[in-house]
Structure 1
Amino acid sequence: MLTLCFALWAGMAHAGAWPREEGTSFLSLGGNVALFDGATRPVHYDPTLYLEHGITPRLTFGIDGYAADAGTAGSLFAWIRLPWRPELEGDVWAVSTGLGVTLLPDGDHEATGRLGLHWGRGLGNGWLALDAQGQLGVTRLSHQAKIEGTWGRELAPRWTGLIQAQAGYGLSGDIYAKTGGSLVWQASETLDLRLGLTRALTGDRGGGLTLESWWRF
């Protein structure tokens, strides 16, 4: 079950509580390939990049980036993640910190720091996870934050279902929320494919069809 959590939660946007096994890597590439109901904010094509590597049994290094809101928002970060409160049985906790660059609404870029708190719990045939992050610019003090929840469940051999919800506030101070469901197919020992639907609960309330590839090596 922990292997399932490592593989699948790593593919959810930006970090998770479980450490990456030492010497192994995970790469996720994807985004929305079709939009519905005039989707622009907070759901758009939203291409994402996520890479993590296990440096030691406790230390995970990663890089992630995304673009959103029709290309008017985005970021690229390098980060590290460490376990926290490992003495608690049944729950997995971790903290992360990163440094990167954020695209501001006026088109400028700002160096930005990021802190995260991550929680997960393995279930009999799935898992629950929460991932909270806050960002602060180092020059103009731009800031944003978000929290994302995931419930994953093994449906059949090589098939897993995901339900996700995300809420936060952006650089303009706007509150946003969106939710989605996905199916993940294990195409091989090293490759999973995720197909899902995302629906905005705020803004224009549009939706998107998501396609992602997850590689383990």
Structure 2
Amino acid sequence: MSRILVLLLCLRLALGAGPVWAGAWPRDEGETFLSFGGNVALFGGAMRPVHYDPMFYAEHGLTARLTLGIDGYTADAGTAGSLFAWLRLPWRPGDGDDVWAVSTGLGATLLPDGTHEATTRLGLHWGRGLESGWLALDAQGQLGVTRLSHQAKIEATWGHKITPLWTGLFQGQAGYGLSGDLYAKLGASVIWHTTETFDLRLGLTRAMTGDRGGGLTLESWWRF
């Protein structure tokens, strides 16, 4: 199960845009997780909604339930991006097989005209552990505090442990951006558990909207 909880940190990475979502499970008290990566190759003329999309993500368990995090990314060929600090708190922990959590954050969003706006963020997270994997749903909304820019997204994830060294990850994501455009993506990847504290993920992402291009994604994850 510890492997599953670590892998949930990469819910957002596999689709190559925006900050990673850590799912409903809290980070253990005193534990830190750090990740960065992005798409290292593009195909099919990918520009929007899939591009190189570099990102970083870090979180730390403040208590057994409260997790503090920071994330940042750029997307849409550098015309979109954000930087956020946030807190996540489980809701109804231990209620059967389901785990729920809420998250809230404050940061800055890069707008299409090149300016930045202070932005609030709210997330709702659900997860369920399976015998050899997990299921998860993550929803997130953002609202600017001055110009009231807004965007939202939802993502579904299924993870499956193939062997002690390898795990498969399958995802679908849909949402709307700052300009009101709707988008959807699909992603599949494999995770190589190199050591107890370091993993690598290699994945493919394909846009179902926009230019319908895709990307090859590579990320590294550390736990300490």
TM-score of the superposed pair, with normalisation by structure 1: 0.98
Cα displacement (A) at 1:87: 4.9
Where in structure 2 are the equivalents of 1:74-93 lying within 5 Å?
Answer: 74-93=81-100
Q: For 1:19-78, what per-residue CA distance to the aligned partner results, in whole angstroms no more than 9, with x for missing partners?
A: 000000111101000000100000000111111100000100000111000000000100
Q: Using the alignment, how far apart are the partners of 2:209 and 2:105 within structure 1?
A: 28
For 1:206 and 1:148, the matched residues in 2 are separated by 19
Among 86, 99, 108, the alignment partner of 1:101 is: 108
Q: Is the 8 A contact 1:51 1:62 kept in 2?
A: yes
The answer to whether the Cα contact below 8 Å between 1:53 and 1:60 also exists between their aligned partners in 2 is: yes
Matched with 1:211 is 218
TM-score where L is the length of structure 2: 0.95
- What one-letter code is carried by the residue in structure 1 that aligns with 2:8? W
Say whether residues 1:9 and 2:16 are aligned partners. Answer: no
- Gap runs ≥5 in structure 2: 13-20
The one of 125, 128, 132 aligned to 2:132: 125
Counterpart residue identity of residue 139, structure 1: T
Percent identity between matched residues is: 76
2:184 match: 177
Task: Return the alpha-carbon distance in structure 2 between the equivalents of residues 135 and 175 of structure 1.
Answer: 15
1:5 Cα deviation after fit: 2.2
DSSP 3-state at the match of 2:49: coil
Show structure 1 runs of 5+ residues with no match: none
Structure 1 match to 2:16? none
Question: What is the distance in 2 between the residues matched to 1:194 and 1:87?
Answer: 29
CA distance in 2, matches of 1:173, 1:167: 13
CA distance in 1, matches of 2:104, 2:51: 27
Contact 1:19-1:59 within 8 A present in 2 as well: yes
CA distance in 2, matches of 1:12, 1:143: 22
Please name the residue that 1:56 is paired with: 63
RMSD of aligned Cα (Å): 0.7
The whole-number CA distance in structure 2 between the counterparts of 1:100 and 1:168 is 20
